[in-house]
């Protein structure tokens, strides 16, 4: 069941982050590191009611942050639309729940949340080396828009968007 995250979920979320960092770094993807994301990022997300978790048998199986915040680097690109958009940030699935459809559920949730808010446009980005997320965006028919560079990162980030029906 997907629900809004609560402060009591922070420990589980940070455990997922620790495991995800090890996994990402094993294939030289340094999208996330010791500086980002931090516990405080998730506390802010929770307080703003922008973080959602997939809970299975009282365990946090994954999470996704959904809001309208667009990084300044997005202005460098020509997007498919100028419409109001929701933006997917900080998404991860616990190692022991991977390959079980959790990422798909979280993506479907994001799209449905947009529709519930009468927003039919989604933007997102991920590191060019993050094969798993790039494949997930392609699976969901997101359009590749281009790439941006973030000051603290060595590799570019791929940006995607999708018009919802």
Rounded distance between C-alpha atoms, residue 96 and residue 118, angstroms: 34
Give the CATH fold of the 2-163 domain: Aminopeptidase (3.40.630)
Contact yes or no for 110/164 (Cβ under 8 A): no
Instruction: Report pTM.
Output: 0.94
Domain boundaries, the chain: 2-163
Q: Would you call 161 exposed, middle or buried from its count of C-beta atoms within 10 A (0-12, 13-18, 19+)?
A: buried
Residue 94 confidence (pLDDT): 98
Measured CA to CA, the distance from residue 46 to residue 43 in angstroms comes to 5
Average predicted confidence (pLDDT) for the chain: 96
Per-residue three-class SS string for 112-138: HHHHHCCCCEEEEEEECCCHHHHHHHH
pLDDT tens track for 83-131? 999 999 999 999 999 999 999 999 999 999 999 999 999 999 999 999 9
- Reference 128, options 99, 159, 161; nearest CA is 159
**pLDDT (tens digit per residue) in 34-86:** 889 999 999 999 999 999 999 999 999 999 999 999 999 999 999 999 999 99
Contact between 5 and 53 (Cβ < 8 Å): yes
């Amino acid at each position: 069941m997907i629900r809004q995250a609560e402060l009591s979920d922070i420990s589980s979320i940070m455990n997922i982050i620790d495991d995800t960092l090890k996994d990402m770094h094993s294939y030289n993807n340094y999208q996330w590191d010791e500086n980002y994301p931090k516990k405080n990022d998730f506390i802010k997300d929770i307080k703003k009611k922008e973080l959602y978790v997939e809970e299975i048998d009282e365990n946090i199986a994954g999470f996704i942050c959904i809001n309208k915040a667009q990084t300044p680097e997005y202005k460098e690109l020509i997007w498919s639309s100028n419409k109001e958009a929701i933006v997917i940030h900080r998404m991860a699935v616990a190692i022991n729940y991977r390959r079980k459809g959790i990422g798909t559920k979280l993506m479907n949730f994001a799209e449905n949340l947009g529709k519930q808010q009468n927003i039919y446009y989604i933007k997102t980005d991920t590191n060019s080396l993050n094969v798993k997320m790039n494949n997930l965006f392609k699976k969901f028919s997101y359009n590749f828009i281009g790439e941006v560079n973030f000051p603290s990162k060595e590799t570019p980030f791929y940006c995607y968007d999708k018009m919802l029906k």
